[in-house]
Amino acid sequence: MESQSGCSLPIIYKPFDGTEKSHWVDRGHLYDFLYSTKGMRKKLLDFGPGDGWPSLIIAPFAQEIVGLDSSNSRVQICTENARRLGINNAEFKYYSAGENIPFDNNTFDGIMAASSIEQTPNPKQTLHELFRVLKPGGQLRIKYESLHRYKDGKEKDFWITELKNKQSRIILFNRNIEEEYVIQYGITLSMSRQELRDVISKIIKDISYANIAELLDIIKNHIIHVNKLRTTHPSGKTYAEWLKEIGFKKVIPSHDGGMAAANLYDYYKDIKTVREVESVDKLIKPTAKVVCYLDAPIKTDPPITAIK
Ligand SMILES: C[S@@+](CC[C@H](N)C(=O)[O-])C[C@H]1O[C@@H](n2cnc3c(N)ncnc32)[C@H](O)[C@@H]1O
């Protein structure tokens, strides 16, 4: 995949546009990560950066950032994005998933992890490793995808993604919310996403997880590979328990600077003088600074800051 985000990220792929709510939210996340890690002019780790998010938006404020990812193509894309943006204090490194993180104990002042810990083979072991490489007094900020959002009807789901060389992939998700895990099946097909959509629209009305077997039977000659993956998706409560058990001195489930920025956008959207990044930042920065330390109920699966 050339871009995980569909090239939608402000700053990284597009100039900041103050009329776009998602661009305000992005600034909210930026200041949330910056203040919750105490990352100003510090050495930070971005665990699982994807397209370089948040590392590339934080880089101008930090001393140095390392992005660590277990996908070689993500590392290449992040490196290319940094080069294109003229960012020279961010470096991206590959390591093999499941192995120890390739840094000495007490290396980083702060660590950010956005939707990445739950992608690793053993999230609890990953947290142990993040604890090890964080300096005493350093702060880890995690944002994660818990499964509660899929309650009541979205436990079973599927996506269709476009791949290179006129291939596509159907991904089936079977989510077990109570036991906090997901089984994914990836079915790679020798047909483009459009060709697949054409077959679906001709033959099956209202394609859903329940009738996907019917579709697979029709396109079975196009299946070139199937893989199965089980991932653990801890809830906020589980994360908080693990972080304490691992030895973090303080665990703070808190409100989210991104969400606060969304609320600010709703309030200020008709005020035309608040459009440039500088004027938007003037509102978001102090708000995110406070919000990311405001206690939030753990049952809402909020972002968590853990202090070593
Ligand atoms: C959902 S993406 C999130 C990307 C980015 N942080 C964001 O929020 O846009 C998850 C990222 O974690 C990476 N990842 C998956 N398993 C990993 C592992 N074991 N160690 C480090 N990164 C991993 C993926 O390659 C991907 O870049």
Q: Which of 203, 232, 261 is the last residue of a domain?
A: 232
Q: Which domain holds residue 186?
A: 149-232
**CATH code where residue 126 lies:** 3.40.50.150
Whether residue 2 has pLDDT greater than 80: no
Per-chain mean pLDDT for the chain:
95
Check residue 1 and give its pLDDT: 65
| pLDDT tens by residue, 162-171 | 998 899 999 9
Answer yes or no: is the C-beta of 33 below 6 A from any ligand 1 atom.
no
Answer yes or no: is the C-beta of 29 below 6 A from any ligand 1 atom.
no
Check residue 294 and give its pLDDT: 98
Residues 250 and 129 in one domain: yes
Check: CB of residue 224 under 8 Å from CB of residue 189. yes
| pLDDT tens by residue, 72-101 | 999 999 999 999 999 999 999 999 999 999
- In a mutational test of the pocket of ligand 1, which residue from 116, 133, 141, 182 has the highest number of ligand atoms less than 8 Å from its CB? 116
Answer yes or no: is the C-beta of 52 below 6 A from any ligand 1 atom.
no
Q: What are the C-alpha distances in Å from 187 to residues 111, 160, 218?
A: 34, 10, 14
Minimal-distance CA residue to ligand 1 atom 13: 48
Residues 110 and 34 in one domain: yes
Q: What are the C-alpha distances in Å from 190 to residues 23, 104, 170, 225, 277?
A: 36, 44, 11, 9, 44
Q: How many domains does the chain have?
A: 2
Residues 135 and 256 in one domain: yes
Of 192, 184, 186, 189, the closest CA to residue 220 belongs to 189
Confidence of residue 3 (pLDDT cuts 50, 70, 90): confident
Check residue 204 and give its pLDDT: 75
Cα(160) to centroid of ligand 1, in Å?
19
**Lowest-confidence region among 195-204, 236-245, 247-256:** 195-204
pTM: 0.94
| pLDDT tens by residue, 263-284 | 999 999 999 888 899 999 999 9
Which residues on neighbouring strands pair with residue 162, listed in sequence order? 168
Confidence of residue 6 (pLDDT cuts 50, 70, 90): confident
Q: Which of 190, 207, 232 is the last residue of a domain?
A: 232
Q: Closest ligand 1 atom to the C-alpha of 9?
A: 9
